[in-house]
Amino acid sequence: MKKKILFFEDLGKKEFQETWMYQKKLFDEIIQKKVNNISDKKAGYFLFVEHPHVYTIGKNGHKNQHLLVSSDFLKKIDVSFYQTDRGGDITYHGPGQLIGYPILNMDYFFTDIHKYLRLLEEVMIHFLCKNYAIKGERKKGRTGVWFNNGKNGKSRKICAIGIRMSRWVTMHGFALNVNTDLQYFNHIIPCGIYNQEVTSLKKELKKDDISLQKVKCMVKKSFQEIFDVEFINMPD
């Protein structure tokens, strides 16, 4: 079977708001083509980005309960805040974290939102196991990927996932903690889950900074394998 084609673009370091609007532009273009029955040879887009310090919360999140600091404090530590149109609760994005935004026309794949979320988790589980011999785990009733080395029986979340899907087109995606400064998670209840530790690849491997570029290549390969796609670079 012929592989599905996705346009790939690495946005480098970019503000959340600017990236959100760019995602929405690509998302809306796919929907408009679907509405007008215009055929498209590509199945969507896949973006990588690294954001400056920002807290984002899903449309049904609980800011008053899960953001633990004031707006003045956020200004003091130079962190932005956005209420978004994705699912899920509050999370942190920042330097050293790899963000992946798949903007997919699910008509090319399958029309099942739960299956899509599970496959995003599978991408991370595959990446962690194949490249670092880390066993990523799911948690029943939760979305995301955790790590548990069995020493104290307490799992740590290494990847958060939050998406939007409309007319079977996706946007938003996953946030993988690579070299992330985990102190920023102390000011929120991450994903609205109390008493939940957050970790990073750097912390679990007990290494100096890990090459984000190498991680990007590995995650791309895992995404290609799990979703059975081929990437071509975004045209200029």
The torsion of the CA quartet 34, 38, 41, 44, rounded to 10 degrees, works out to -30
Give, in degrees to the nearest 5, the angle at Cα 99 between 96 and 102.
165
- Known catalytic residue: 191? yes
Give the model's pLDDT for residue 152. 58
- Give the pLDDT of residue 150: 54
Q: Identify the pLDDT of residue 210.
A: 95
Q: Is 56 helix (H, G, I), strand (E, B) or coil?
A: strand
Using CA atoms, how far residue 16 sits from 43, 55, 69, 84, 195, in Å, is 24, 9, 20, 10, 27
Return the pLDDT at 13: 98
Task: Point out the catalytic residue in the list 129, 159, 191, 217.
Answer: 191
pLDDT attached to residue 196: 82
Each of the 236 residues of the chain gets a pLDDT tens digit; together they read 688 999 999 999 999 999 999 999 999 999 999 999 998 889 999 999 999 999 999 998 999 899 999 999 999 999 999 999 999 999 999 999 999 999 999 999 999 999 999 999 999 999 999 999 999 999 989 999 998 855 556 789 999 999 999 999 999 999 999 999 999 999 999 888 887 899 999 999 998 889 999 999 999 999 999 999 999 999 87
Reported pTM: 0.95
Q: Which domains does the chain have, with CATH numbers?
A: 4-226 (3.30.930.10)
Burial 186-221 (b: 16+ CB within 10 A, else e): ebbbbbbeeebebbbbbbbeeeeebebeebbebbbb
Can you give the pLDDT at residue 41? 85
What pLDDT score does 68 carry?
96
What is the C-alpha separation between 152 and 156, in angstroms, rounded? 11
